[in-house]
Amino acid sequence: MKVVILAGGRGSRLAELTEVVPKPMVRIGERPMLWHIMKHFARFGHKEFVVALGYKGYVIKEFFLQYRLLSASLTVDLADGSTSVLDGGDAADDWKVHLVETGLETGTGGRLHRLAPWLRDEPFFLTYGDGVSDVDVDSLAASHRRAGALATITAVRPPSRFGGLAFNGDKVSEFIEKPQIGEGWINGGFMVFEPGIFGYTNDRTDSLEKEVLERVALDGRLAAHRHEGFWQCMDTLRERDLLEDLWQSGKAAWKTWR
Range of the domain at 141: 3-153+184-248
49 assigned to some structural domain? yes
> Tell me, what CATH number does 229's domain have?
3.90.550.10
193 assigned to some structural domain? yes
pTM for the complete prediction? Answer: 0.89
Residue 178's pLDDT is 58
Residue 175's pLDDT is 66
How far from 91 is each of 9, 71, 124, 256, 257, CA to CA, in Å? 29, 9, 25, 19, 15
CA-CA distance, 18 to 181, in Å (whole number)?
Answer: 29
Do 56 and 63 contact (CB within 8 A), yes or no?
no
Residue 185's pLDDT is 87
203 assigned to some structural domain? yes
208 exposed, middle or buried (CB, 10 Å; 0-12, 13-18, 19+)?
A: buried
Q: What is the pLDDT of residues 120-135, one digit of tens each?
A: 999 999 999 999 999 9
Intra-chain end-to-end CA distance of the chain, in Å: 22
146 assigned to some structural domain? yes
Instruction: Encode the chain (258 residues) as per-residue pLDDT tens digits.
Output: 999 999 999 888 888 889 999 999 999 999 999 999 999 999 999 999 999 999 999 999 999 999 988 878 889 999 998 888 887 655 568 999 999 999 999 999 999 999 999 999 999 999 999 999 999 999 999 999 999 999 999 999 887 665 666 677 776 667 666 555 555 789 999 999 999 999 999 988 899 999 999 999 999 999 999 999 999 999 999 999 999 999 999 999 999 998
Residue 103's pLDDT is 95
62 assigned to some structural domain? yes
Residue 88's pLDDT is 63
Domain count for the chain, please give it. 1
CA-CA distance, 203 to 236, in Å (whole number)?
Answer: 29
Q: What is the pLDDT of residues 162-191, one digit of tens each?
A: 566 667 777 666 766 655 555 578 999 999
242 assigned to some structural domain? yes
19 assigned to some structural domain? yes
Give me the chain's average pLDDT, please.
91
160 assigned to some structural domain? no
